[in-house]
């Protein structure tokens, strides 16, 4: 099946700094990628939908100036958490759709990035 990677898998940063998380589709071109946030023992919350070559669509309540999303190519989307605070500590997961998939509803998930802000 299709593979989505995320980098880094874990990151610790100091409060006030910014951190970038990369999401890559390794063997397919993803016109659409999704960014989720998961709190401990909680569900996945969709943060934004990232479309290649256009601005991301953010879900209600998600600060677009804090969570910057860039989808510069068909295989890469990045999420930058700006001026991070401890409450931004979470598990961030990206997913991608392969438009060539015979099952167009299927999303391929990355392994996730554990962000800890100290």
- Summarize as ranges the residues that interact with other proteins (CB under 8 A): 32, 34, 42-46, 49, 91, 93, 95, 97, 103-112, 114
DSSP letter at 2 equals -
Closer Cβ to other proteins, 42 or 85, answer by number: 42
Closer Cβ to other proteins, 34 or 75, answer by number: 34
Least distance in Å: CB of 15 to other proteins? 24
Least distance in Å: CB of 9 to other proteins? 9
CB 16 within 8 A of CB 117: no
Closer Cβ to other proteins, 14 or 43, answer by number: 43
Least distance in Å: CB of 103 to other proteins? 7
Rg (CA), the chain: 14
Look at residues 27, 48, 25, 42 and name the one whose alpha carbon lies nearest to residue 91. 42
Look at residues 45, 104, 109, 48 and name the one whose alpha carbon lies nearest to residue 80. 48
């Amino acid at each position: 099946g299709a593979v989505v990677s995320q980098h880094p898998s874990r990151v610790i940063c100091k409060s006030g700094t910014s951190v970038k998380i990369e999401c890559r589709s390794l063997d397919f071109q993803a016109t659409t990628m999704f960014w989720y946030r998961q709190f401990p023992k909680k569900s996945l919350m969709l943060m934004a939908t990232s479309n290649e070559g256009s601005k991301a669509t953010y879900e209600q309540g998600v600060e677009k100036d804090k969570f910057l999303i860039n989808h510069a190519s068909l295989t890469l989307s990045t999420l930058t958490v700006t001026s991070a605070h401890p409450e931004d500590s979470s598990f961030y997961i990206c997913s991608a759709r392969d438009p060539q998939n015979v099952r167009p509803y299927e999303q391929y998930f990355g392994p996730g990035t554990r962000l800890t802000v100290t």
